[in-house]
Chains A and B, each alone.
Chain A
Amino acid sequence: MSEENVVLKIENLKKSFGDKEVLKGVSFEMKKGETKVIIGPSGTGKSTLLACINMLVVPNGGKIWLENEEVTSAKNLNKIRQEIGFVFQDFGLFSHLTALKNIMIGLTKVKKMEKEAARELAMAELKRVGLEKEASLYPAQLSGGQKQRVGIARALAMKPKIILFDEPTSALDPELIGEVLSVMKNLALSGMTMLVVTHEMGFARTVSDEIIFMENGYIVEQSSPEEMFKNPKNQRTKEFLFKLNELYGE
């Protein structure tokens, strides 16, 4: 049954802030090992969508499933959030903890792992993102790209079923974007399920299995990258991709 491979299923998700309806009924699903990229103009609910998936923002309607568990009606959200990694645009590293401790704290305090085992796992994840030498540095001593790699390592260490990336490279200097994208690319190749909000079209084109174009709280179009770039069906998708192309010259 293909249903078993579905990691994340979203059905008619709605969210309003006051009078402003940000998500107007969004549905899609993700299979194990897939990478999907969400693109779209700013203010169209992309970040809200991600925040809703782990209930950092509580949706007004619709349903979300993580594998067989309904997130939207779950009693123990803290348990579910452990299984959904989240990578923030502004990194969200804990300022008072070293890179290593940033990763360890979730393992020891949330997963109740032994300190030594947590340290070992945290170190392994730092190695995976190429930062084992920076383990004892504090966030303020790291470059933006390094911070984001620690953020990814921290999410990975929790052994999530899926990782959500909320514009992971938008706060970075251009020369630092590459190191983060390459870590993400390796992750995708290693079979991690990833949902990425980004404007990095190169990444979307080469790494993603599907691109979702969102505007005004709706999914306007979703298709494979080849299809999306060569032959977008919707006029708005065309215009948006054209603008991106003008901006980033790809």
Chain B
Amino acid sequence: MWVTLQITFFTLGLGLVLALPISFGQIYGNKLLKAIIAVYEKILRSIPELVILFLIFYGFPRIGVRFSPFAAVVIGLGLRSSAYQSQVFRGAINSVSKTQMRAARSLGMSNFQGFVFIVLPQALRIALPPWTNEFTIVLKDSSLAYALGVTEILRQGGYIIATKHEPMIIYLTVAVFYFVVTIVINKSLGRVEKKLAIPGFDVKETVR
């Protein structure tokens, strides 16, 4: 159970750390950077997660790069998540109206200050709901670690079944675990969302 949560958090963390600079590059970068990011993202979004994991775990040792199964899972799922998360942030940043930056600059803020103090705080609020969604997707994808022999909750269930012969009960328990964690994530991030909500601010208004 802890392994599943660990995979989820590390994957999400790696994805986040990569996704923020990727989305910035995609919006503010030069043509070359944008092109590289576009390729990166297309590749990662079009390969099945399992294939990415097999490539990293079984393929990479052939070129002398060896990872533990756990690391391979976090890297593989993390890269994939970075591609998705960067889209979430890119969309959110773009949906903050251009006037906001103009107004910031007119006060004498630098581009960087305008981005940090004005654009980003609004963009992160907009990004929160789709990011919550990505969180639950990563949680469920963590079960793919099973294929590399990592003892996450699904494999643990398998071990218990091997001695207790109760697949229905054990797999139901596993399912309930995923269900409960998803609910908890949704509820708590939903609460964060409410707390950060801007009074009177309708999301529709920002989309405009």
Are A and B subunits of one complex?
yes
A residues touching B (Cβ–Cβ < 8 Å)?
A: 54, 56, 78-82, 84-86, 88, 90, 92-96, 105-106, 109-111, 137-141, 154, 158
Known interface pairs A90-B99, A92-B99. Does A141 touch B106 (Cβ–Cβ under 8 Å)? Answer: no
* A105 to B121 CA separation, bound complex (whole angstroms): 13
Contact check: which of B102, B117, B121, B201 meets A109 at CB < 8 Å?
B117
Specify which of B117, B122, B125, B201 is in contact with A105 (CB 8 Å cutoff). B117
Q: Which 5 A-B pairs have the closest CB atoms?
A: A92-B103, A140-B200, A82-B108, A86-B106, A141-B200
Asked if A81 and B99 make an inter-chain contact with CB atoms under 8 angstroms apart, the answer reads no
**Binary contact readout B42-75 vs A (1 if CB under 8 angstroms, 0 otherwise):** 0000000000000000000000000000000000
Within 8 A of A (CB), among B80-137: 99-100, 102-110, 113, 117-118, 121-122, 125
Q: In whole Å, how far is B126's beta carbon from the nearest beta carbon of chain A?
A: 10
Are the CB atoms of B106 and A140 closer together than 8 Å?
A: no
Kindly list chain A residues whose C-beta atoms are within 8 Å of the C-beta of B199.
137-138, 140-141
Q: Count residues on chain B whose CB falls below 8 Å from chain A CBs.
A: 24
- Given A95-B206, A105-B117, A110:B100 Cβ within 8 A: no
Smallest CB separation, A87 vs chain B (Å): 9
Known: A94-B118, A95-B201, A141-B199. 9 other contacts (CB 8 A): A88-B106, A92-B102, A92-B103, A94-B104, A95-B198, A96-B121, A96-B122, A96-B201, A140-B205
Q: What residue in chain B is nearest A151 (Cβ atoms)?
A: B103
How many Å lie between the Cα of A93 and that of B198 in the bound state? 13
On whether the beta carbons of B125 and A78 are closer than 8 Å, the reply is no
Closest chain-B Cβ to A15's Cβ sits at a distance in Å of 16
Given known pairs A95-B201, A141-B200, the reply for A56 and B102 (CB within 8 Å) is yes
User: In the complex the two chains form, what is the Cα distance from A183 to B106 in whole Å?
Assistant: 21
